[in-house]
Amino acid sequence: MSKPIYILNGPNLNRLGTREPEIYGRTTLAEVEAMCREAAAGLTIVFRQSNREYEIIDWVHEAIDEGSGIIINPAAFTFTSMAIMDALKMFPGPIIELHISNIHKREPIYHKSYVSPIATAVIAGLGTDGYRTAVKAMLTMTATLPAGT
């Protein structure tokens, strides 16, 4: 039995699809989760969101014990959380940092990510489709694709 991919989402993303559609689109987080499960082609996905930093840290610890890869949209914690960065540093597998918007196109406060220097890859600016791209990439990175695909 292969280990699941963890998809972790930070603060306010539970409100996705309800405001600033010009930046974040109209897709809800529940729809993003369904898209990820479909893209995972049967592989187990652990999909979570929290507005609490400690909870995200606890889930990274859980992924260290039980996960094959982490896709994380840390939202505002991207720019503030050394604690999430420290937890991610302990993860032995691939980490994809994901942002719906292109953070580098925005104001300078959105340019300095604590996660990017320790991430395996960074996806930003693809909208919510970026989650599907990240899952597909993670399947390759963790070599869990069924033979012939």
Q: Catalytic site residues?
A: 24, 99
User: Interface residues with ligand CA2 (CB under 6 A)?
Assistant: 12-13, 15-16, 18-20, 24, 73, 75-76, 78, 99-101, 103, 110
CA 10 – CA 53 distance, rounded (Å): 8
- 138: which strand partners? none
C-beta atoms surrounding 143 within 10 Å: 8
Least spacing, CB of residue 119 vs ligand CA2, in Å: 13
Of 12 and 44, which has the nearer Cβ to ligand CA2? 12
Name which of 43 and 71 has its Cβ closer to ligand CA2: 71
Which residue lies nearer to ligand CA2 by CB, 75 or 119?
Answer: 75
Under 8 Å CB-to-CB from 87, ≥6 apart: which residues?
A: 56, 57, 60, 61, 64
